[in-house]
């Protein structure tokens, strides 16, 4: 074979002109403009373009006066994203929060005792000896949980004083009313009448301390009832003209939001920020188009959902800045 004959295989060429925008990134000449930088993500490609799509979808949520559900896993509150979530609630940009028990316990702890920056490569056995717990590159001394136990026991006495059976949303609201920290998500939610749903309330220190609290003879009948909250989520959602979901992380909070929106025919908008892999068939890795197949997100002619495959601390503040605070 003549080597020149291979050229059509290597460089086949095309006569087709594509209609898409030119791939182009931000031009750093002159002063840096955050809004222009985020707008340039639309033509940057890869996950940057998904972030630009997310900002656009969040803008449309706000323009349509959608009821916005924010779902988050506890590592969001472990990190500096706690202050970002508190700001969204404080400024009235979020209508419903769905989260995990770890978010609640860590939000309370941070009102009195901060978490500390650590490192990923710490000696785990040495940390255990020192009474330090590691969350990635964040360190949490065990004395935080000793303090939390005392705080919650005092709270439980008041919380269960009149009714032995309460709901997770009541727990979150009344606990938030006891806190004095403007960066507390629970406090901001209580002050701005934003319900916090936590369907797995026992899956953290709250559950541990409730277990010990119930060992007392006079508290053996107290408990947490979750179905009433589920009923409220479904009933309230069906009354909303338009809903939008922002799921930071996945698991139970994300699924609770899309599942309860199923009862109203699906959410109108959805933004996922997650790192789970789709290939294992788990909910945590499931993309939004899978939720469309279940009726949990509406199918529309215009793209109404996107997924950003990225770690939340990198992109969630940019989404919030671009869609909520750049006006």
Q: Which of 305, 227, 238 is nearest to 273 (CA)?
A: 305
Query: Each residue of 81-120: b (16+ CB within 10 Å) or e?
Result: bbbbbbbbbbeebbbbbbbbbbbbbbbbbbbeeebeebee
Count Cα atoms within 13 angstroms, Cβ side, for 296.
Answer: 19
Characterize 241-271 residue by residue with b for buried, 16 or more Cβ atoms within 10 angstroms of its Cβ, and e for exposed.
ebbbbbbbbbbbbbbbbbbbbbebebbbbbb
- Residue 135 near residue 75, CB atoms below 8 Å: yes
How many CA atoms, within 13 angstroms, populate the side-chain half-sphere of residue 57? 25
Burial class (CB in 10 A: 0-12, 13-18, 19+), 10: exposed
Contact of 279 with 295, CB cutoff 8 Å:
no
Which of 110, 187, 254, 296 is catalytic? The answer is 296
296 is an active site residue: yes
Q: What is the residue-wise DSSP string for 145-164? A: HHHHHHHHHHHHHHHTSS-S
Positive or negative: CA dihedral 302, 308, 312, 317 = negative
Tell me how far apart the 2 most distant CA atoms of the chain are, in Å. 93
Instruction: Say if CB 212 and CB 35 are below 8 A apart.
Output: no
Alpha carbon 143 to chain centroid distance?
A: 27
Residues annotated as catalytic are: 296
């Amino acid at each position: 074979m003549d080597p020149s004959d291979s050229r059509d295989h290597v460089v086949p060429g095309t006569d087709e002109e594509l209609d898409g925008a030119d791939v182009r990134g931000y031009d750093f000449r002159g002063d840096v403009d955050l809004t222009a930088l985020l707008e340039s993500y639309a033509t940057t490609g890869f996950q940057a373009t998904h972030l630009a799509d997310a900002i656009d979808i969040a803008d449309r949520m706000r323009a349509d006066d959608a009821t916005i559900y924010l779902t988050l896993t506890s590592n969001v509150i472990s990190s500096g994203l706690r202050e970002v979530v508190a700001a969204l609630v404080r400024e009235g940009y979020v209508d419903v929060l769905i989260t995990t028990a770890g978010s609640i316990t860590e939000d309370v702890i941070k009102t009195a005792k901060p978490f500390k920056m650590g490192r990923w490569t710490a000696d785990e056995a040495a940390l255990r000896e020192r009474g330090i717990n590691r969350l990635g590159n964040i360190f949490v001394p065990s004395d935080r949980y000793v303090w939390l136990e005392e705080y919650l026991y005092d709270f439980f006495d008041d919380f269960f004083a009149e009714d032995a059976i309460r709901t997770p949303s009541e727990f979150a609201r009344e606990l938030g009313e006891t806190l004095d920290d403007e960066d507390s998500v629970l406090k901001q939610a209580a002050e701005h009448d934003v319900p916090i749903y936590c369907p797995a309330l026992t899956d953290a220190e709250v559950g541990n301390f409730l277990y010990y609290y119930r060992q007392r003879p006079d508290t053996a009948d107290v408990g947490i009832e979750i179905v009433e909250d589920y009923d409220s989520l479904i009933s309230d959602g069906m009354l909303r003209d338009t809903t939008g979901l922002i799921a930071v992380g996945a698991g139970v909070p994300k699924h609770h939001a899309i599942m309860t929106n199923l009862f109203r025919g699906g959410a109108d908008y959805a933004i996922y920020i997650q790192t789970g892999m789709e290939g294992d068939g788990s909910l945590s890795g499931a993309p939004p188009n899978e939720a469309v197949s279940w009726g949990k997100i509406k199918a529309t002619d215009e793209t109404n959902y996107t997924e950003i495959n990225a770690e939340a601390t990198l992109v969630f503040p940019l989404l919030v800045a671009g869609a909520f605070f750049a006006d």
